[in-house]
Structures are given as structure tokens and as C-alpha cells.
Amino acid sequence: MIGLDLKLDGVIKMKLYLKKIEKLIDTRLKSTRKRIGKYILVKDARRYAPVDTGLLRKAITSKVNGDDIIVYVPSSSKASDYARYMHDGNYNLGRKSRSGGSKVGRKYIKRSIDDNESKMAKALKRVFRGIK
């Protein structure tokens, strides 16, 4: 029976270790998703957004919902209707927007996500560093 007890003890220890690793990974993933949203996606979406008064750029934010990073303009924001039109509509950029660089314009949130796929992948890969 001693051999069986040792094997069971090893299995129990392994299960506890795996639960600990799972919790660590979950914590790191949540933190990493928040940082990706705030410091990568929102930053670039703001740079890409057309500018007149700056209200739209200030209103762009992010949140984490489960596995998803959501970049959006809150519906409670004064810029919400304007944000939708400026993201999806057809228009000519104004003087201030034209001076903002070649990336300013339509689909500013989508382009922020598309342009940063490799940065997001690298950040998510770092979650698993040092886990043994």
C-alpha cells in the first residue's frame, strides 16, 4: 500500500500545482489584456481618430470582458454619435485631421487592432515566461 499512497500523494501535489499555475496564468492574462487595451489599442485608435475639438480622441477607451479586449466610445459620451459616423461614415478630413498624419481617418478603432496584431501576440506570449 505504501507505493499506492506515494503515487496518490504525487497526483494530489500535481493537481495543486496545476491549479496554482492556472490561477497565475489567468491573473497574468487579465492584466496583459488590460494593458494591451489601454497602452496599445486605445493609444493608436486615438492617434488614428479624426480630430476637430479632441472630444472624440479623449472619449476612446477600452475594457476587458472575459477573453475580449473591447475598444469603444461609451454611449454616454458626448462624442458617441460622432464617433460612429467618423468610424464608419464617408467624409473628407478637416484641416486639423489632415495635419495629423497619413493614418488619421475612417476605421480608426479597427485599424488600431489590425496594425497591432504582432504586438498583442508578443504581449500574450510573455504571459507564459518563467512558468515552470
112 in a domain, yes or no? yes
132 in a domain, yes or no? no
Task: Give Rg (Cα) of the chain.
Answer: 22
Tens-digit pLDDT profile for residues 68-88 = 999 999 999 999 999 999 999
131 in a domain, yes or no? no
62 in a domain, yes or no? yes
- Burial class from Cβ neighbours inside 10 Å (0-12, 13-18, 19+) for residue 10 reads exposed
Q: What is the pTM of this model?
A: 0.82
| Domain total of the chain | 1
Q: pLDDT tier at 6 (50, 70, 90 boundaries)?
A: low
Which domain range does residue 14 map to?
2-126
Check residues 102 and 29 and name the one with the higher pLDDT. 29
